[in-house]
Each structure stands twice: as C-alpha cells, then as structure tokens.
Amino acid sequence: MNEPVLVLNANYEPLHVCSTRRALGLLVAGKAEMLVNGRGYVRTVRLAIPRPSVIRLGYMVKRPRPRVRLTKREIFRRDNYTCQYCGARLMRLTIDHLVPRHRGGDHSWANLVAACPSCNLRKGGRTVQEAHMSLLRLPREPAPSALYLFAPHLNDNTAWQPYLQGW
C-alpha cells in the first residue's frame, strides 16, 4: 500500500507523489480519478479495487513553481558536468565562487559554478574580471522540468513517463 502514485493536478500538471493508501482515499472520496492502473487490484471479500499508478485530482491545486535544491550535485548537473571556464567535461569538478566568499560572495545559484581544478586554482581568490577569465554562460537557478524532478522514480514507474513530458 506504500507504492508511489503520481498525482496530477486538474490540468494534468504533475504535482507530487503519494502512497497507494492516500491515492485510494482520494479516489474513494471522489476527489480524484484514476488514469493508470498498472498495479493490479486490492482484493477484499466482495470487491477488487484497482490499484492506481497515476491519478488526477478533480480540482486545481495552486502552488508555487517547485525549486531545485542548491547542492553541489545540482550545480554540477545544471552545468552539465562541464567546467564553466574552459569547457572541460570531467568527473573531478570543483565548485567556484564567482565572487569569492571572503569578498562577500554568497552561496547562491548566481554565484556558484562548476570549475575544473586547474581553472579554480588559476582564478584563486579573485573575481572573474580580476582574473581575466570568462564564463561559458551566466549561472542562474535552473527551472526544473517534471522529468527532472521526478527522474528518481522513473526507473520503477515507466508508465509515468508520458504524464511527465512537456511540464
């Protein structure tokens, strides 16, 4: 009953993942419809209740656009595992602060980029301008697609793929 169920908004936008138990509650209460079964049935003495894999809410949920957590891993992912100075694509990347911390540079999407160890060393404690270096592109907070956000579930739930595309 704890298998994940993809919950879509009334307009089909993927919202979040809930448990089968919670999804069945929404279905029984008439608050959602089942779009994909895919998990067989929950059998009681008299009934066989389909176990949902994807459900859609009957009403619109308003919520802010989801954000990607600012972590080292997500910065590398945003920068396509590529040094943002020389373009080298390697496993052993470091994080560079465009404006160094001791100069007031903050921990933000706009101030952090992936850099290879030699570019990071070359830049040192200077700003990009002072070091006479240039960036491949200006860093900013990534806008996550549904495929990006729900990627960790996709291996076990391939039926979700069409519902995630384009969001």
Residues that bind Zn ion (CB under 5 A): 83, 85-86, 88, 116, 119
Amino acid letter at 79?
Answer: D
Whether the CB-CB separation of 27 and 34 falls below 8 Å is answered with yes
The amino acid sitting at 92 is: R
Strands 4-8 and 54-57: parallel
Apex 141 CA angle, 138 and 144, nearest 5: 125
Question: Would you say 98 and 128 are in contact if contact means Cβ atoms under 8 Å apart?
Answer: yes
Closer by beta carbon to Zn ion, 83 or else 112: 83
Between 8 and 116, name the residue whose CB sits nearer to Zn ion.
116
Provide, rounded to whole angstroms, the least separation between the CB of residue 99 and Zn ion: 18
- Name the minimum Å distance from CB 87 to Zn ion: 7
Rounded least distance, CB 138 to Zn ion, Å: 17
Instruction: Show the CA angle centred on residue 29, arms to residues 51 and 49, nearest 5°.
Output: 25
Closer of 51 and 123 to Zn ion (Cβ): 123
Q: Which is nearer to Zn ion, 83 or 113 (CB)?
A: 83
Task: Give the shortest CB-85-to-Zn ion separation in angstroms.
Answer: 5
* Amino acid of residue 127: T
Cβ atoms 105, 99 nearer than 8 A: yes
Q: 4 or 100, CB closer to Zn ion?
A: 100
Shortest distance (Å) from residue 60 CB to Zn ion = 46
Q: Any idea how long the chain is?
A: 167
